[in-house]
Amino acid sequence: MFYNSTSYRDDLLWAAAWLYRATREPGYLTDVTRHYALHLEQEAATDAELVTDWNHAFWAANVLLANATDRAPSTRRRRAC
């Protein structure tokens, strides 16, 4: 491993979002939805609030997906109050 990563599903989400944006293939959007939900279930505790760097691609993937689809992901992350 080249660097320590606290999660990987956000990276899969990021990749699927770029592939969807580039190709508009519906299968990639399905992948986005699946990786988004799995990230929230399994890895969300590793997310730094609104940070994007080599270890946190979740928030950047949200912006990319919103721009590519004109909507937010179907599984929305709720902010704890």
Q: What is the DSSP string of 8-76?
A: SHHHHHHHHHHHHHHH--HHHHHHHHHHHHHHHHHTGGG--TT--BTTB-HHHHHHHHHHHHSS--SSP
Residue 64 lies in domain? 9-69
What pLDDT, on a 0 to 100 scale, did the predictor assign at position 30?
A: 94
Number of domains, the chain: 1
Residue 13 within any structural domain of the chain: yes
Residue 74 located in a structural domain: no
Query: Does residue 79 lie in a domain region?
Result: no
Indicate whether 78 belongs to any domain: no
pLDDT computed for residue 74 by the predictor? 53
* Confidence at residue 44, expressed as pLDDT on a 0 to 100 scale: 76
**How does pLDDT run along the chain (81 residues), one tens digit per residue?**
567 777 888 899 999 999 999 999 999 999 999 998 998 888 877 666 767 777 788 888 888 888 888 765 555 544 443
